[in-house]
A and B are shown apart, each in its own frame.
Chain A
Amino acid sequence: SQQGEEDPQALSIQEGENATMNCSYKTSINNLQWYRQNSGRGLVHLILIRSNEREKHSGRLRVTLDTSKKSSSLLITASRAADTASYFCATASNTGNQFYFGTGTSLTVIP
């Protein structure tokens, strides 16, 4: 399987703290995307970083990509209770046709 892995599997923090989750993958990629999923619902796209980019920001989100280590990290700054969800990374194959999702990080932000 070419499925990626997120680390940690679960993370619990206080509101206002930063949350960092990591993603490792196995093959060369076209881009890497991060998604959020609230319990049992559809996934919502957060941010996309292309293979030739190293860092990207969107609001309170910061994503880094290290293609030499085949890893990415997602940082959520100043977390809120509403950020409580599962977070998944997904890699797009070189052709952009196939997607491989990680196993997810469950984030709990305590008010």
Chain B
Amino acid sequence: EAQVTQNPRYLITVTGKKLTVTCSQNMNHEYMSWYRQDPGLGLRQIYYSMNVEVTDKGDVPEGYKVSRKEKRNFPLILESPSPNQTSLYFCASSLAGNEQYFGPGTRLTVT
């Protein structure tokens, strides 16, 4: 089954404790992206990757890092999480510029 998986689905952590949210897709898509969704703001793009070892900033990259060492994986790293990073996070993949397939989401709470 074609899908995008994210782990963990729910995470509660404390300020400053580094965390990684994993994302994996099995559709051989070149393009992958991370978004955060906040009430009243819709989805905002954090980072995207056009292919292995090619990443670029989206609209709201501050406080986040990504890496793309393999085509199927695109982890999101928060080196020092802060409460304003509490949000619902989505990973997505696609053939470049076309319809995106979204993961189920990761609900992160930073206290």
The interface of chain A, by Cβ under 8 A from chain B, is 1-3, 30-31, 33, 35, 40-45, 48, 88, 90, 92, 95-104
> Are B88's CB and A40's CB within 8 A?
yes
List residues of chain A with CB within 8 A of the CB of B58.
98
The contact of A88 among B31, B43, B45, B88, by CB within 8 Å, is B43
Residue contacts A-B, CB under 8 angstroms, 24 given: A2-B59, A3-B42, A3-B44, A33-B100, A40-B88, A40-B105, A40-B107, A41-B104, A41-B105, A42-B103, A42-B105, A43-B90, A43-B92, A45-B101, A48-B98, A88-B42, A90-B43, A97-B56, A97-B96, A97-B97, A98-B48, A101-B42, A101-B43, A101-B44
List residues of chain A with CB within 8 A of the CB of B100.
33, 35, 43, 45, 90, 99
**In the complex, what's the smallest C-beta–C-beta distance from B34 to chain A, in angstroms?**
11
